[in-house]
C-alpha cells in the first residue's frame, strides 16, 4: 500500500492510539464511505511495526464494534510491510452519518475534525435523500414556462447531449427526472418557472465600497433568464475598448465575457437553495463581485479544482445536469479553471473567496487610460441580451435568414421569429422585400 496518509488512508504507530483510530475510521466513512487504516506506521510513512498478541486483533475489532454507530464490519488482518508486522483495517459503509464515541467527525485532508451542527444536519438530509431540489414543489405544470422548456430541448439537441425532441412539458420533465407523478420537483421550479424563490440582486456603486450606489436592479425568472439578465447587466456596466482589425472594429471588454458567464452559471448552479438570500452582482469602481449563498465544499480549496486535481462536487445535481445538457456547463468540474485561465490569458486579476455566508468570485478592473466606448452595436433603444445578439447578426449580414440566425445563436426558429418581431416593433428593423431576395434594413441605432 502507498505509505502516505490521505483523506482515505490513516496510519497509527500502535494500538495505543486505538481511540484515535476509531475516530479516524468514522471520519473517513462520513466523507468517502470507504478507506484503510494501518497500525505499525508513523504518520510520516515510516514503518515501525506493531506487536500483535493473541487478543490484539479481537481488541481492535471490539473497539470498532462498540464505539462506532451505526455498526461497521471491517476486514482486520495482519500484514507484513517492509518485513515488519502491521495490522491493516479495510472498511466501508454507506449509512452516514457515523458517530465515534457519540460524536460525528469528518475527514479534512489527513486530519479528523468534529462536525458542526449544520454539517451534521446536511449529512442527515443527504442520507434521507432529502436534498432541497428533490423535494416536491407547490408549483404545477401550468406554472412552467413552455417556451423555456422548448428552448432547452433545442439547445441540448444542438449540443448533442440529448436525443429526444419536445413533445410536451410533462414528458420532457419526466425525461429529466424533474417530476414525480404529476408533481414538479423544486429543481424544475427553479429551472423552468418564471415565479420561483430565487432572485439576483445587482447594483453599481460609485466607489470602492457600498456607501453610494448609482443603479440597483432585482432579476427574477427561469434560471436561463437569470443568467441572461445578469450577463447583460454586467456587460452594460463594464468598459469596452475598440480595436481595428482588418478594417473592422472589434469591441473588447475589460473582463473576458466567458469568465463572467462561467462565474454567473456557477453561482446559480452551486448555491444553497435552502438559503433565502439572493445571489448578488456588485460592480465597484475597481472590481466586480459575483456572490452566491452557500459555503464552498467542506475540506476543499478553489485551487483543488483550478488545478484539475479534484472532480466536481454537486450541491444541486438535478439543476447542474440540466445546465450541462443545454451546454451552460461545458464540462464537469471545469468552471473555476475556465475562469482562472480566461483571466490569466487577458491579464485580469481574479480571486476566489470563501466566506462564512457563501462564495464569491472577484474580478479586478484595470485602470483605464485610453478612451473607452460602450458596445458599438448596441442601439440606444433598450434591448435584451438576445435582441442585441440577433441585431448584431443582422447588422453583419442584412440578407441573413432566420434559420441561419437560429443556427448561429443556438436558439429555435420560433424564438428568432418572436425576437425579430420585437425589434420591428421597437422601430429598429424593417424588412425590405417579401421574397428570399429581400433583406433587413437597420433604421435605428
Alpha-carbon span 81 to 295, nearest angstrom: 41
Is 86's pLDDT higher than 90?
yes
Is 67's pLDDT higher than 60?
yes
Largest CA distance in the chain: 97
Beta bridge partners of 273: none
Predicted pLDDT at 294: 85
Closest CA to 285 of 366, 357, 218: 366
Predicted pLDDT at 430: 85
Question: How do beta strands 279-283 and 240-245 pair?
Answer: unpaired
Is 368's pLDDT higher than 70?
no
Instruction: Tell me which of 68-72, 108-112, 131-135 is least confident.
Output: 131-135
Instruction: Tell me which of 170-179, 184-193, 412-421 is least confident.
Output: 412-421
The pLDDT confidence band at residue 374, using thresholds 50, 70 and 90, is: very low
Inter-residue contact 393 to 405 (CB < 8 Å): yes
pLDDT (average), residues 155-161: 93
> Within a 10 A sphere around the Cβ of 239, how many other Cβ atoms?
16
- Domains belonging to the chain, first-starting first, are 9-127 (3.30.950.30), 133-192 (no CATH), 200-364 (3.30.565.60), 385-442 (1.10.10.10)
Alpha-carbon span 237 to 289, nearest angstrom: 13
DSSP 367: P
Alpha-carbon span 423 to 406, nearest angstrom: 16
pLDDT (average), residues 82-101: 93
Instruction: Tell me which of 175-179, 297-301, 335-339, 381-385 is least confident.
Output: 381-385
Which residues in 348-372 are b (16+ Cβ under 10 Å) and which e? bebebeeeeebbbbbbebeeeeeee
The pLDDT confidence band at residue 445, using thresholds 50, 70 and 90, is: very low
**C-alpha distances in Å from residue 380, one per residue of 217, 295, 377, 426:** 20, 40, 10, 11
Predicted pLDDT at 295: 84
Beta bridge partners of 351: 362
Predicted pLDDT at 381: 56
Inter-residue contact 442 to 428 (CB < 8 Å): yes
What residue spans of 135-255 are helical by DSSP H? 146-158, 169-175, 186-192, 223-236
Give per-residue pLDDT as tens, 230-277: 999 999 899 988 777 766 767 889 999 999 999 999 999 999 888 888
Amino acid at each position: 500500500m502507498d505509505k502516505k496518509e490521505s483523506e482515505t488512508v490513516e496510519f497509527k504507530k500502535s494500538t495505543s492510539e486505538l481511540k484515535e483510530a476509531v475516530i479516524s475510521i468514522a471520519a473517513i466513512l462520513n466523507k468517502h464511505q470507504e478507506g484503510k487504516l494501518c497500525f505499525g506506521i508513523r504518520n510520516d510513512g515510516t514503518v515501525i511495526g506493531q506487536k500483535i498478541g493473541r487478543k490484539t486483533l479481537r481488541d481492535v475489532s471490539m473497539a470498532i464494534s462498540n464505539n462506532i454507530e451505526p455498526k461497521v464490519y471491517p476486514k482486520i488482518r495482519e500484514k507484513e510491510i517492509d518485513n515488519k508486522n502491521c495490522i491493516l483495517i479495510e472498511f466501508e459503509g454507506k449509512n452516514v452519518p457515523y458517530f465515534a464515541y457519540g460524536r460525528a467527525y469528518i475527514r479534512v485532508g489527513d486530519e479528523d475534525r468534529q462536525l458542526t451542527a449544520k454539517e451534521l444536519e446536511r449529512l442527515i438530509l443527504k442520507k434521507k435523500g432529502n436534498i432541497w431540489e428533490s423535494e416536491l414543489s407547490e408549483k404545477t405544470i401550468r406554472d412552467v414556462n413552455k417556451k423555456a422548456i422548448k428552448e432547452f430541448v433545442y439547445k441540448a439537441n444542438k449540443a448533442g447531449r440529448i436525443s429526444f425532441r419536445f413533445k410536451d412539458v410533462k414528458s420532457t420533465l419526466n425525461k429529466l427526472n424533474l417530476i414525480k407523478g404529476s408533481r414538479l420537483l423544486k429543481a424544475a421550479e427553479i429551472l423552468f418557472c418564471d415565479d420561483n424563490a430565487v432572485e439576483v440582486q445587482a447594483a453599481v456603486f460609485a466607489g470602492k465600497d457600498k456607501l453610494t450606489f448609482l443603479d440597483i436592479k432585482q432579476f427574477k425568472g427561469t434560471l436561463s433568464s437569470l443568467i441572461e439578465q445578469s450577463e447583460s447587466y454586467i456587460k452594460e456596466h463594464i468598459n469596452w475598448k475598440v480595436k481595428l482589425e482588418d478594417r473592422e472594429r472589434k469591441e473588447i471588454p475589460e473582463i473576458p465575457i466567458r469568465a463572467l458567464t462561467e462565474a454567473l452559471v456557477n453561482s446559480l448552479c452551486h448555491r444553497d437553495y435552502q438559503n433565502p438570500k439572493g445571489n448578488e452582482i456588485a460592480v465597484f469602481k475597481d472590481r466586480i463581485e459575483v456572490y452566491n449563498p452557500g459555503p464552498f465544499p467542506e475540506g476543499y480549496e478553489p485551487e483543488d479544482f483550478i488545478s484539475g486535481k479534484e472532480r466536481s462536487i454537486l450541491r444541486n445535481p438535478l439543476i447542474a445536469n440540466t445546465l450541462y445538457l443545454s451546454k451552460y456547463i461545458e464540462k464537469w468540474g471545469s468552471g473555476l479553471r475556465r475562469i482562472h485561465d480566461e483571466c490569466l490569458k487577458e491579464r485580469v486579476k481574479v480571486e476566489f473567496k470563501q466566506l462564512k455566508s457563501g462564495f464569491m468570485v472577484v474580478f479586478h478592473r484595470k485602470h483605464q487610460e485610453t478612451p473607452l466606448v460602450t458596445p458599438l452595436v448596441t442601439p440606444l433603444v433598450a434591448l435584451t441580451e438576445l435582441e442585441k445578439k440577433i441585431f448584431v447578426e443582422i447588422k453583419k449580414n442584412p440578407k441573413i435568414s432566420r434559420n441561419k440566425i437560429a443556427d448561429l445563436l443556438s436558439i429555435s426558429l420560433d424564438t428568432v421569429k418572436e425576437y425579430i418581431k420585437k425589434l420591428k416593433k421597437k422601430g429598429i428593423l424593417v424588412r425590405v422585400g417579401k421574397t428570399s431576395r429581400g433583406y433587413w434594413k437597420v433604421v435605428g441605432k
